Every structure is written in structure tokens, then in C-alpha cells.
Amino acid sequence: MADQVNYSRISGLASGLDIDSIVKSMIKAESYRLNKYKQAQTKDEWKQDIYRTVNSDLGNFIVNTRKDLGLSSTTATGININKSISSVTWVNKTTVSDETVLTATANGDAAAGKYSVNVTQLATGVTAASSKAIVTSADPTVKVGTATKLSEIKDINITGSDTITFYINGKEISGLTGDSTVQDLLNKVNQSGAGIKMTYDSGLGRFFIATTSTGSSYGFQVTSDANRTTSISGTKAENLFNALSLNINRSDGTVVTGNADNLKELNNGTDAIYDFAGATGLTSSSNQVTVNGINMDFKKTGSVTVSVETDIDTIVTKIKKFFEEDYNKLLDGLYAKINEKADRDYQPLTDDQKEAMKDDDIKKWEDKAKQGLLQNDPTISSMLYSIRDMLYEPVSGVDSKYNTLYKIGIETKSYFDGGKPGQIEIDEAKLRQALIENPDAVMSVLFKNSDADYTSKSLTSSERSSIKEQTGIVGRIYNEIIFGIKGIVDQAGYGQEEDVLRNVRSNIFIDFVTERSSISYLSKDITDLKKRIADEQDSLKRKEDMYYQKFTAMEKAISQMNSQSAWLAQQFGTGQ
């Protein structure tokens, strides 16, 4: 038992030495590699965070400027859909001689001019409504509610166990009984796919029915069979509809009662009929139509003139904001990152150094240590070089008088004026003149679009060059930034920026997943460093144990010597 000493933490009782302090100092002296590994890991983690912040800035630049330019829209489910410049409505402005007849906007591809429009008929749907308040049989002064059972409606002549089945526009409505509620009826009709919306206004006590779309292809018909040939006469469904006391508003303007015979008759909506600039008898199932890039919303019948002209003021405002504000600001931030110099005197703090410092001092130190981590970064620098390079190249298929930026008054800033490579300044007078002379050419040199994926790694250099030639400057900027985003994802992963980057391009991570198995270079380095740190910690623990073993042996030897000395002294004392 005497030999089983816990040497991991012994005191120098025999030697009088502070063994723990000595061992700690010895291990500290040998922790150089461990500290270097930890500092390297910390630097990689900082660099990873900074990279991801850069990608957030790049992604948000594309997403936000696309929205500002009308080049993307968000669906009801939150999905971003990219659009071409031909679909935006700020390039042209419209005036309508009488906006009570119709309102209009013009897409980017609409031709300037004046257009005569004559609306002779509006598109309509079919509607029906209760002609009176629907009340309960128990108390005719009380309107039914959505929780009221169908059998409790006044004059319905249906018992709780009676089943009710009918067809609306050939779609079966079944599973209803007298015990079903008003809400059950609404749900069955609205979920049937019949193209009908049925509602109940509890305040008015009335049912309302309407086709979900306008036009002659949409109507309202109630039958007792899917073939739509047999009326509901003599069925519980007839009792139901009689109790609802419907009036049907037909497309010809007449109103008929909703009895079995009238319900069997197909009541269709009407198409809009209109003339546009000499094209007569045009029809549409909707009152919202687009002709020749002009979007019109018919309000009533009548004749108007729609005028379309290039909206130079809005175009200039949009272009200046994109380049002189958003784009230049982005480049300012990127150049700040790659031009920021690192101070080699500030390295990540070791654990011992942090213990001796206050929290505020630690933050100040680490802020200084983070500076310059992306100094001369090749991924960002390459992206900036590519952007700067393509700004000077002409866009193919555009009138040679306007096929480069500088020809339309958009030029790179001078270094002597404080500009950074690739930053833009605009000669507004020259831009306005180009828009007056040839607005289509100006919009093409900026926004001409190519459907091909410029960033696909399967492309050859010549294929990529061809796509670039066919793409306007704004699209080129986006493409080079997406290239940069992909490169940064390879370096640092996507972190918390996944949603933003997917809004830039839905398949933006495909190369990262297929080629790198979603493991970034920095993540791999960090994993390797963590293993080295663990191995080094194990090595230092073994050394610490070894030192304690040696000091334990020393203490043991000194203790034995002290015991022998005491025994000898005792013997000599006894001899006296």
C-alpha cells in the first residue's frame, strides 16, 4: 500500500519543494506546439467567420439589387424567382386617357407609342347569393351560424340521418348528412375542385357563391350526376338548395332563382372582348391582359388611348443606385478586407494569457488580431479582377455605338479621385443622351440576359467566354460574384448564410456537395488541428505524469533518507 502513491498531485513534504508549481512550469515550457496549434485553429475559425460574412454581403448584394431592379420576385411560399429585364415595369411609363376604363403598365420590352384600346365586354364570373337571411327552424329570428346543423335550417326538410349528395360542375359533393354543419358544407364545396368558392356571412345570414375564375370556360352548375345531365329535383340536395334560397346572377345580367331546373342549367361567365391597335375582336378569360408588352386591367367598357414612352428619369435613378451606391459600396467593403494589413504582434491569446487579462482587453486584442486575415486573399482578389476586366468588354449583338459601358456614360473611377479598381462613376448627361437616342441598346448593354449557367464547372473557357460576350454588364457582375461565392464556400462552407445564398441561385452548392462532400478547406484544417491538439494534450499529460512519477520517487528517497537519519540520530542519542 505504501508504494501506491497518487503522484498526480503530491506536495513536497520531504523536499520542501512546491512540486505542483515546478511541474506546471515544466509543462508550460513544453506547451509551445500546443499553443501554436490552438492559435492556428482560432485563426482558421476567425477566417471562416470573416469569409462567411463576405459571402453574406455578396449574396445580399445580388438578392437586394435584383429586387430593386425588379429582376426577381418572391412567391407565396418564399421562393425567389429570377426574371428578365423584359418583364420589369420601370423601364417604360404609361398614361391612359381614361383610367376608369382601364389601367396600364408597360414591360421593359414594350415598344414606345400610342395605342387605341376599345373594351366592348368585361370578363365575368358567375355569382349566386341567398335572397334572404337564412334562419333556424327552432327560432326564425336567429340566423344560422357555421356550427348550425343543416337539419336545423328553417324549411330544409332534412333529418339528421339523411344523406346529401350532389355534383357541382361534375365534381361530387358527398359525405354530408343532416347532422353536418354549415361549416362542413362550406368545406366540402370549397375542397371539391369544382372551381367554386362558397362562403357564409353570419352577420347577414346569407350564403354567397362565386366562380374562382372569370371567363366563358368557368361556370356554376348543380346536378345529381357526374355527367351533368340530371337535375337534383326530388333529392335531399334540392331541399338543401331550396333552403339556401339562392338567386343566380347570370352573365347576361338576368337573375334567376336557384331551383333545381335553373341549377341544372350551366351558367357560364363571359370573356373580355376588346380591340387593340387595329387588332379587333380579341378575347380573354380575364380582365388582366398583356398585349405587346403592355399590361392592362379592364375596369369597364369604353375606348381609351394608352401611351408608352421610355421612363428616362427612373432608368437613370435605378442605374445610379445600382452602380454608384450598391455596387461601389460592395467593392469598398471587399477592398477593405483584402487591403487590411495584419499586425504580426497580435496573435490569438493563449489560455494563460486570457486568464491574466480583463474581458474588455481580451476583446480589443482579438479585434486587432483578426485584422488582415484576408489580406491579399486570392479568392476575393480573383473575383475583383474578373469584375474589373469584364467592365471594359463589349456586349455582342448590341449597336456598336452603345455596346460598352463607357459609350453610354458609365466609366470606372479614377484612382486619383479616390476610386478603387472596378468602381463606377456615371456621366448622367451622356447616359441620358444615350437613352434618348437608343434606349433598347442601353438596356441591352446593361441587362442582356443569357440562360446558360456561366458558373458551371463543366464549361470550357471558350464556352464561358461566349456566354460572357452575350451577357449584359449587370449579369456579368452577378456571374463573377457567384463564382466568388462558390470559391468562398469551398474555403469556408456556408454556415448560417445558406438561405441567402440559395436565393442567389438554388443550385449554388451543387459543386461543393458533389466535389468536396460539403467539407470546406478550412473545416478540414480545423479538424486536422483539433486532432493535433488532442494528440499534443495526450503527450503533455504523459509527460506530466512522468514528471510527477520522478518527483514522487525523489520525495520517497528523501523521505527514506530522512527516516534513516532520524533513526541514526536516535541510536546515537541512546548510546549516550
Q: Give yes or no: residues 143 and 189 share one domain.
A: yes
Same domain, 249 and 298: no
Q: Give the whole-angstrom CA distance, residue 494 versus residue 516.
A: 13
Give the model's pLDDT for residue 148: 96
pLDDT at 496 (0 to 100): 83
Residue 229 lies in a domain: yes
Element (H, E) at 172: strand 171-177
Specify whether 385 is located in the same domain as 506: yes
Residues of the chain with pLDDT under 50: 1-8, 576
Partners of 153 in the β-ladder:
136
CA-nearest of 433, 456, 355, 379 to 55 is 379
Closest to 312 (Cα-Cα) out of 431, 427, 411, 410:
431
Report the 3 state secondary structure along 183-207. Answer: HHHHHHHHCCCCCEEEEEECCCCEE
Pairing mode, if any, of strands 294-298 and 171-177? unpaired
- For residue 228 the three cell numbers come to 351533368
The helix, strand and coil proportions of the chain, stated in percent and rounded to the nearest 5, come to: 45, 20, 35
The reported pLDDT for the residue numbered 236 is: 95
Please tell me what DSSP assigns to residue 322: I
The last residue of a domain, from among 519, 541, 561? 519
Q: Residue 5: what pLDDT?
A: 37
Same domain, 501 and 461: yes
Task: Work out the number of other CB atoms within 10 angstroms of the CB of residue 235.
Answer: 17
Q: Is 3 helix (H, G, I), strand (E, B) or coil?
A: coil
**What is the reported pLDDT for 76?**
61
Residue 259 and residue 283 in one domain: no
Q: Does one domain contain both 382 and 457?
A: yes
Angle at 68 between CA 63 and CA 71, to 5 degrees: 70
Q: Would residue 300 count as lying in a domain?
A: yes
Q: Is residue 86 part of a domain?
A: no
CA dihedral over 443, 445, 450, 455, signed as positive or negative: negative
d(CA 62, CA 331): 13
Say if residue 185 is in the same domain as residue 284. no
pLDDT in tens, 193-220: 999 999 999 999 999 999 999 999 999 9
CB 106 within 8 A of CB 93: yes
In this prediction the pTM is 0.79
Q: Are residues 552 and 441 in the same domain?
A: no
Could you tell me which residues are beta bridge partners of residue 270? Answer: 124
CA distances from 528 to 40, 41, 78 (A): 11, 9, 39
534, with CB counted inside 10 A (0-12, 13-18, 19+), is exposed
Query: Of the residues 279, 294, 310, which one is the last residue of a structural domain?
Result: 310
242 domain-assigned = yes
User: CB-side exposure of 230: number of CA atoms within 13 Å?
Assistant: 12
Domain that holds residue 190: 127-268
Distance CA 140, CA 138 (A): 7
Is the domain of 414 the same as that of 280? no
Query: In this structure, are 333 and 433 located in the same domain?
Result: yes
pLDDT tens profile 79-114: 667 778 888 999 999 999 999 999 999 999 899 999
In 416-543, at which residue ranges do the beta strands (DSSP E only) sit?
Answer: 424-426
Whether 87 maps to a domain, the answer reads no
At 64 the pLDDT is 93
Do 323 and 427 lie in one domain? The reply is yes
User: Which three-class secondary structure string do you get for 223-278?
Assistant: ECCCCCCCCCCCCHHHHHHHHHCEEEECCCCCEEECCHHHHHCCEECECEEEEECC
pLDDT at 12: 54
Domain for residue 407, yes or no? yes
Beta carbons within 8 Å of 179's beta carbon, 6+ residues apart: 149, 150, 151, 160, 161
User: Do 384 and 508 fall into the same domain?
Assistant: yes
Domain membership flag for residue 1 = no
For residue 85, being part of any structural domain is answered with no
Contact 457, 15 (CB under 8 A): no
Q: Which helix (H) or strand (E) holds 82?
A: strand 80-82
Handedness of CA 544, 550, 554, 559 (dihedral sign): positive
Q: How many domains does the chain have?
A: 4
**What gap in Å lies between CA 444 and CA 473, rounded to an integer?**
9
Coil, helix or strand at residue 366: helix
Q: What pLDDT is stored for residue 332 in this prediction?
A: 94
The pLDDT of residue 494: 83
Where does a domain end: 519, 535, 558?
A: 519
